[in-house]
Amino acid sequence: MRHLLGIEGWRREEIETLLDRAEAHLPGGPASTSVLQGKVVANLFFEDSTRTRTSFEMAAKTLGAQVLNWTAQGSSVSKGETLLDTVRNIEATGPVALVIRHRSSGAPHLVAQHVRCAVINAGDGTHEHPSQALLDAFTLRKHWGRLDGRTVLIVGDILHSRVARSNILCLGALGARVMVCGPPTLLPVGLKELGAEVTTNLDAALPQADAVMCLRLQLERQTESFFPSTREFSRLFGLTAARAERMKPGALVMHPGPINRGVELAPAVADGARSVILEQVANGVAVRRAILEVCS
């Protein structure tokens, strides 16, 4: 048993082993489909999610597990039950793993200190989203073979993005050069220490990238004046069709979803030849099967 609380603390070999396992879990692959036969995996989603929850659910079910789907809505959380009380009650039903999505950074770490089963972070606040980074790395690996020497440019709201943090660490660990780009208000200090190069000039960075990952812009950040308008954001930091033209030949476009079409990513680019967005989703199940197998 081991936890997946974040990419932080995972070494390159461990990540590569996990991605190798994910290969075996692709449809028609050699991995066993009964490793979790008779076991229960609990999905604890304190925050809304479509793609991550269904992806983990499919992964668990196709490994033979029963899935307990718990959501904060309609639970005792609204009665003021604490996170640890909620989680311990669910743990008492005997799951082999808790898959947790929570709005507070570090919530899975807190849980992991107080339960005996595996804790898998399915996204915590503005901290990490490790399964997303692993499936992104997996997707890139399928295209490139290796990430060494490749440049991945992550664009948008880095400050509030758990996808960005996990990807900086994961892609960096696998040998890629990671650049991040966004308005200064959405670039936290200390990104260099995490291993990223920082720029505010998308047009200068774009031609260097072998892949561009656009992040979802949460529209409520506008009311907090992190940027003046989605219009201006899009003008400065959106991946428009014109910008996509200037990318390297063969460079890829990624997005963790859900997309604000026309804000961070133009519809034509999201659906265009460079886009691997749906591959990301498809690979997600195989990667999460590998995560459940390795952690449980």
Where on the chain is the footprint of another protein (CB under 8 A)?
8, 82-84, 102, 104-107, 109-110, 124-128, 162, 165, 188-191, 193-194
CB of 188 to another protein, least distance (A): 4
Q: Which residues, in sequence order, are CB contacts of 174 under 8 Å at separation 6+?
A: 12, 15, 16, 137, 141, 146, 147, 148
Please tell me the distance from the alpha carbon of residue 163 to that of residue 166, in angstroms, as a whole number: 5
Name which of 34 and 82 has its Cβ closer to another protein: 82
CB of 102 to another protein, least distance (A): 7
CB of 128 to another protein, least distance (A): 7
Name which of 33 and 185 has its Cβ closer to another protein: 185
Please tell me the distance from the alpha carbon of residue 143 to that of residue 205, in angstroms, as a whole number: 21
User: Which tokens belong to 95?
Assistant: 């799951």
DSSP letter assigned to residue 67: E
Name which of 125 and 262 has its Cβ closer to another protein: 125
Helices (H), the chain: 12-24, 51-61, 83-91, 107-112, 130-144, 162-173, 191-194, 202-205, 230-237, 241-245, 267-270, 277-295
CB of 193 to another protein, least distance (A): 4
CB of 43 to another protein, least distance (A): 19
DSSP letter assigned to residue 159: T
Q: Is residue 198 packed enough to be buried (19+ CB in 10 Å), middle (13-18) or exposed (0-12)? A: middle
Q: Which residues, in sequence order, are CB contacts of 143 under 8 Å at separation 6+?
A: 252, 276
For tokens 């990223």, what's the residue? 196
Name which of 64 and 195 has its Cβ closer to another protein: 195
Name which of 130 and 238 has its Cβ closer to another protein: 130
CB of 289 to another protein, least distance (A): 26
CB of 256 to another protein, least distance (A): 15
Name which of 123 and 284 has its Cβ closer to another protein: 123
CB atoms within 10 A of CB 11: 9
Name which of 221 and 274 has its Cβ closer to another protein: 221
**80-98 b/e with 16+ CB inside 10 Å = b?**
eeebeebbeebbeeebbbb
